Amino acid sequence: MNDVDWGARLDAAVEAFMEAAQRMPSGSDYGFCAYADAPIAIGGGISSFCWFQTRVQMLVTISDHGLFLNPPRSDVDLAATDAVVKKIVAAHRQDLEGLPSALNRHLTNASQFIWMGSFRELCESDHPQAKKIRAEFREDKEVAGDPGAIESDELASFVEFIGRYGVS
């Protein structure tokens, strides 16, 4: 059986997700919004976005590092959960709609995904969570919570909003 250096895996995940969290999305980027499934007092419940240049890059990063998007509880079987995350991502490569809920079932007390897709979908789709995020953006701009598609004149402000989503 392979001995896994979980500390090194955690460090690699932190680096991968830090870069993705700092990336400002453009039209063809893929990403997700997730939060730490932990008490608020220790940083849980705060949603943030991670962005990747391609869908494949996003899926590979989730497969390789999803276990450590947010540190799991100490009683989690790391090897078993890591294997399940990899299996779920492989099974849902063509189904971004179903991937978050499948991951969430196995990442309880670590991370929970609330949206996943392309930046264009976040700006335009009828996905309930995308509409909710757009409505929150417009409320932040003191406009009635309109969940309609992001207009070209709103794009820069929307990118700024999702860059600080969950923090402000």
The span from the CA of 10 to the CA of 28, in Å, is 28
pLDDT averaged over consecutive 10-residue blocks of the chain (168 residues)? 84 94 93 88 82 97 94 90 97 93 94 96 95 90 78 94 82
The span from the CA of 161 to the CA of 79, in Å, is 36
Q: Which phi and psi angles does 48 have, rounded to 5°? A: -150, 160
- What pLDDT sits at residue 13? 93
Cα separations in angstroms, 88 against 62, 105, 140, 147: 10, 10, 35, 31
- Residue ranges covered by each domain of the chain: 6-163
- What pLDDT sits at residue 139? 85
Answer yes or no: pTM beyond 0.85.
yes
- What pLDDT sits at residue 145? 67
- What pLDDT sits at residue 17? 94
